[in-house]
Structures are given as C-alpha cells and as structure tokens.
Chains A and B, each alone.
Chain A
C-alpha cells in the first residue's frame, strides 16, 4: 500500500537477482563478430591540461538568463536533473550576478576590515594564503530559488531550471573569526556590511553573531581556486544562509552597530505578506527537497523497478529524514540517506520504486535536525501568500502518466 515504493535496502538485499535479470535481458557485446569497439582499435587522445566533460554530455549545462540590455545581470541554473551525488561541478555551479563577472587580478585585490574596531586591517591575497584554512562542504542557495512555485500554474521545465539556483561545493578558506578578532572589535559592533568588488559593488548587512560563528573566507572551491563567476579570488561563505549574503569578490567588511539598509536587504530579498507587511532579514534557507530522477522531462519506458533519487538540504543543520510518496501524498516511505549526512550541505536520498504502469504522483518531504518539516505548497501559501517571491520551499510534485511522461503538478 505504498504506491510501489520498496524498502530502501531493497537493492542491497536483492542485488544479485536484480543484476542477473538486467544482464540476461541485454545482448552481450562479446557475442558480436568483432570483440573491439571502434575506439579500441587506435590510440586514444593525448593528455590535456584541463579536462573537459565527454562530448556526449554536452547537454549537461547551466541554462543562463541575462537581462537583454545588461547581459551580466541575471542568473544561471545548475542542471540538478542531470547530476548525481552531492557535489556540484565547478563549471555548473549556479550564478546570480548584479552586473557581470569582474576579471579580478589577485595581485591587486585586497580585503579591508574597518568600522567599530580598534585596529582596522587590510590584507593582500598572498598574505591571506598563509592563514590557516578549513574545508567545509555546504550548499549555497539563492533566496529567489524556485520562485516560479508561487505562480498559479506549475511551470513545465526541467527540475534544475526551476530549482537549480542551489549548488553544493567543498569550500576551503580562513575562519572569519581569526581575522575579526585581530581587529579588536568594539562593544557596539553588531552587524558587518560585506561588499563585493564587482561593478555593482553589491553589499549586504550580516549579523556579527553569525560571522563569528561559522562564516569563512573561501579561496578554493572543490579543491581549485574559486572560479571567477563564483567570487575569485575571495568569497564570503555564510553556511545555510541565502546566497546573496555569500558575497562574491569580497573586498570590504565594515563593522557597524546597525544594518546599512542596502537595496538588496530592503527592496529585494524581503518577502511581502498578504497583510502588506514584509519579512526582512530572513537569512536562513529552510529545509527543502526534490526528486531529481525521475523529474520533468524524464520518460519511463515500461513498468518495473526504478531508482528514485533526489536532494535535500537545510540551512538549520542536518537533514534527518526524507520521506517519499508514490501515491500523491497518501502514504510516505523513508528514503535511504547517502552517508555522511553533513550539516547545511546537500544530502542525497534514494529509494527503489516498482512502477505498476499506472498514472501517479511522486513527492518528497524533508525533515531537519530542528524537527522542521518541509511544507506542502498549499501550507506555504496559506502562511505567506503568493507575492513574497523569495524563500519558496514547498513540496515538489511530479506526475507520471500511464505513458511514463513526467510533468510538474500542484497536488
């Protein structure tokens, strides 16, 4: 009575039977006349200085959407529907730029820390490289991710081009606490205004408490220096908080006793409620999940066993549970979480599903360590209305027709 969802350990228990069934149903290549494929009959390509994906994977790309009059003002989405595991390849990390990607010379880039401090300091990049560093895997999600979920009609587009303003990397850099302590903060310091060195000089105010807790200045992303579009040479990482506060191309930290009330913390990245009041400083990205396979655009061939796979994350800490429904939310079964589960990081969930060939609806629902449960879309809208734009985290529903076509529905 679970819509065909199987025990999450099904593959482990039945692995052998399942594998044999698959092998037996496919003709073995060895049975053909020639035992070599064409690419096995000549030497392969030479070494390359920087590897690129297979030519057969050229469809796995970021979709980009820039303003027609200002091409560097817009977004690009991570193709979540084409990816597996928990780490986003650097070239596919989502982007949100306010005026393009600056081409920064690291020799000329400096970080200034000033304001209500006894000892304002300035750091060159080569100096920062000598500081002790930490590595942490964490997601960055734009506050505006999934915003088409507020629309009256469900958008029909691939999962990544709806929910892909979120990505996950291993970031390596300097705990901010080390540098802030060196400036000797005054009692009155409560906020830090972070400013980027791009053409828009994008800035936001961040509570000092968070900055001293777990924020760090990233220099490396997934082992290599951060890509220009993700903040080269220096990016502020604010684990679990909305993307806009993870300031790219970081150039200045201003210690203050109040927020500056910048454009991107007043007129944008605030959420208007039906009452006419707006939520402000809604930094934390609440728990969210979605099934990435199957999702919009996938075609199920015939009934039988499929492996449902998806992503969950929470800005409040670890994901403790992801439940999947294969009957439109009537019953839920707990999915297997890929280990290790890390705080404020992508968590991959998987569960096998025996599709009976009839139309149905797939959903996933995440719970985090605080007990927060991802809401149904209608619950979210009852609380926030439809015009808040930011911080959409409603449950995602994929309809499977009897022909195996997958579409996005509100259910």
Chain B
C-alpha cells in the first residue's frame, strides 16, 4: 500500500514536470512572404486595403456580369440578399437591414466581396473590379455620387449612414470612437 502511494507521488511529480514542458515547440517561423500572401484582412481605418481603384460606371458592368443573377436588378434582391433600394427604415416593421441603412463601415463591403463573392467563383475579381463594384453598391445606396472614384484612400472616408447604430454588448459601451 505504502509502495503504491509512493509510486503515485512520483507519478504526480513527473506529470508536473511534463506539464511545464508539454509544448513540443513544433511551430515553424512564418515568413513575411506567407503572411503578406495570406493576410487579406481589411479594417475600418483602411489598413489592409490593396492598391487599385474603381468607378461607379465600371462597377455597374461588373455587377451585371457577376452579381445581378442572385441580387437582382439594381441590388433589389432575389435568391440572395437585398443590397440597395431600401423601402423601410430601421425602426419600421419590418425594417430593411441593407448596406445603406444598416452596414456601419464601407470597408466591410470590399472585404466581404473579396473573400466570398461571387459564390460560384470566389476570387475571380481583381482589385480594380472589387473597388468598382464596391463603388457601384455605394452609389446604388445614395452614399456616393456617380463620379466618385473608390480606392484605398477614399473608401475608409466614406461615411456610412448607420455608422453609430451599434451597441457593443461585449464591452457594454456605445461605440462612438
């Protein structure tokens, strides 16, 4: 019995030693090249936006070719979400929660399209085309005029109508920065 207790004691000690050294330390240093290639995150500040630019006019052509079949004419929605042409405000019943009424940051439009759209061929649009279709969606929502050029410098400056519409429940504060 005593021997067994001793053995258990030794086992516990060795487990403690093991737990301090249990990380096998096998991660490889990530090169700048791979980080830059993989990291496509875009922030409201504009950080992460690539080079390139686009116009509303060019964006309309992109929209017709890649987006219209699911999002409908002028972004009014079909098998996929309504993107523009809100008939209701956020306090109406039912409300229209779309880019022009709900989305707080213009940079999110670029980021989401680059990541995920079009569904049948994500990644097919180049940066100029992405900026252009972003410009077109902002134009359809009456947020920019038709001559505005959208790029890494102008996109973060676009003031979205619902910029201050969110309450950060996690940090329990009104986001007003």
- Bound-state CA distance A270–B115 (Å) is 20
**Contact, CB under 8 Å: A132 / B22:** yes
> Shortest beta-carbon distance, A70 to chain B, in Å?
4
- Bound-state CA distance A260–B108 (Å) is 8
> Shortest beta-carbon distance, B84 to chain A, in Å?
13
- CB contacts under 8 Å to B, within A290-334, are none
B5-13, B28-36, B128-136, B140-148 - the one binding chain A:
B28-36
**Contact, CB under 8 Å: B116 / A260:** no
**Contact, CB under 8 Å: A387 / B108:** no
Asked if A203 CB lies within 8 Å of chain B CBs, one says: yes
> Shortest beta-carbon distance, B153 to chain A, in Å?
18
Q: How large is the interface on A (under 10, 10 to 19, 20 to 34, 35 or more residues)?
A: 35 or more
**Contact, CB under 8 Å: A262 / B34:** no
Output the nearest chain B residue to A385 by Cβ-Cβ distance: B93
- CB contacts under 8 Å to B, within A95-132, are 98-99, 112-114, 119-124, 127, 130-132
Known contacts: A207-B170, A258-B43, A267-B97. The answer to whether A121 contacts B30 by CB under 8 A is yes
Instruction: Report chain B residues within 8 Å CB of A276.
Output: 89-91, 165
**Contact, CB under 8 Å: A203 / B27:** no
Output the nearest chain B residue to A270 by Cβ-Cβ distance: B166
**Contact, CB under 8 Å: A260 / B167:** no
**Contact, CB under 8 Å: B167 / A278:** yes
Output the nearest chain A residue to B18 by Cβ-Cβ distance: A132
Asked if A49 CB lies within 8 Å of chain B CBs, one says: no
**Contact, CB under 8 Å: A282 / B27:** no
Known contacts: A121-B28, A276-B91. The answer to whether A266 contacts B116 by CB under 8 A is no
Asked if A28 CB lies within 8 Å of chain B CBs, one says: no
**Contact, CB under 8 Å: B165 / A277:** yes
Instruction: Report chain B residues within 8 Å CB of A124.
Output: 28
**Contact, CB under 8 Å: B122 / A130:** no
Output the nearest chain B residue to A132 by Cβ-Cβ distance: B22
**Contact, CB under 8 Å: B41 / A131:** no
Instruction: Report chain B residues within 8 Å CB of A263.
Output: 108, 111-112, 116
Output the nearest chain B residue to A71 by Cβ-Cβ distance: B119
A53-61, A193-201, A403-411 - the one binding chain B:
A193-201
Output the nearest chain B residue to A128 by Cβ-Cβ distance: B26
> Shortest beta-carbon distance, A261 to chain B, in Å?
5
Interface centre among A183, A207, A279 (most CB of B within 10 A): A279
Known contacts: A69-B69, A272-B95, A274-B91. The answer to whether A266 contacts B27 by CB under 8 A is no
**Contact, CB under 8 Å: B28 / A122:** yes
From A120, A278, A283, contact of B29 by CB (8 A): A120
Instruction: Report chain B residues within 8 Å CB of A123.
Output: 26-28
Output the nearest chain B residue to A119 by Cβ-Cβ distance: B29
Output the nearest chain B residue to A271 by Cβ-Cβ distance: B169
From B23, B97, B111, contact of A182 by CB (8 A): B23
Asked if A188 CB lies within 8 Å of chain B CBs, one says: no
- Bound-state CA distance A386–B91 (Å) is 11
From A130, A182, A261, A279, contact of B169 by CB (8 A): A279
- CB contacts under 8 Å to A, within B44-62, are 44-45
**Contact, CB under 8 Å: B42 / A73:** no
Instruction: Report chain A residues within 8 Å CB of B35.
Output: 112, 114, 120
Instruction: Report chain B residues within 8 Å CB of A67.
Output: 79-80
Known contacts: A69-B79, A98-B116, A199-B122. The answer to whether A261 contacts B104 by CB under 8 A is yes
Asked if A252 CB lies within 8 Å of chain B CBs, one says: yes
Instruction: Report chain B residues within 8 Å CB of A202.
Output: 115-116
**Contact, CB under 8 Å: B27 / A70:** no
- Bound-state CA distance A283–B171 (Å) is 11
- Bound-state CA distance A124–B26 (Å) is 9
Contact with B along A154-189 (1 / 0, CB 8 A): 000000000000000000000000110011000000
Asked if A68 CB lies within 8 Å of chain B CBs, one says: yes
Asked if B14 CB lies within 8 Å of chain A CBs, one says: no
- CB contacts under 8 Å to A, within B77-119, are 79-80, 89-91, 93-95, 97, 99, 102-105, 107-108, 111-112, 115-116, 119
- Bound-state CA distance A303–B85 (Å) is 56
**Contact, CB under 8 Å: B91 / A266:** no
Instruction: Report chain A residues within 8 Å CB of B28.
Output: 121-124, 127
Asked if A34 CB lies within 8 Å of chain B CBs, one says: no
Asked if B126 CB lies within 8 Å of chain A CBs, one says: no
**Contact, CB under 8 Å: B34 / A112:** yes
- Bound-state CA distance A203–B43 (Å) is 13
- Bound-state CA distance A405–B79 (Å) is 36
Instruction: Report chain A residues within 8 Å CB of B91.
Output: 274-276
Instruction: Report chain B residues within 8 Å CB of A278.
Output: 90, 102, 165-167
Instruction: Report chain B residues within 8 Å CB of A256.
Output: 41, 43
Known contacts: A266-B108, A387-B95. The answer to whether A261 contacts B165 by CB under 8 A is no
Instruction: Report chain A residues within 8 Å CB of B29.
Output: 119-122
**Contact, CB under 8 Å: A112 / B30:** yes
- Bound-state CA distance A387–B27 (Å) is 45
Asked if A281 CB lies within 8 Å of chain B CBs, one says: yes
8 shortest interchain CB distances as A-B pairs: A121-B27, A281-B170, A263-B112, A120-B30, A201-B115, A200-B116, A69-B79, A280-B166
**Sampled A-B contacts (5; CB under 8 Å):** A73-B119, A182-B27, A201-B116, A266-B103, A280-B166
Further contacts, 7 of them, CB under 8 A, given A272-B102, A279-B169, A280-B175: A68-B79, A112-B38, A254-B39, A262-B111, A281-B170, A282-B170, A283-B170
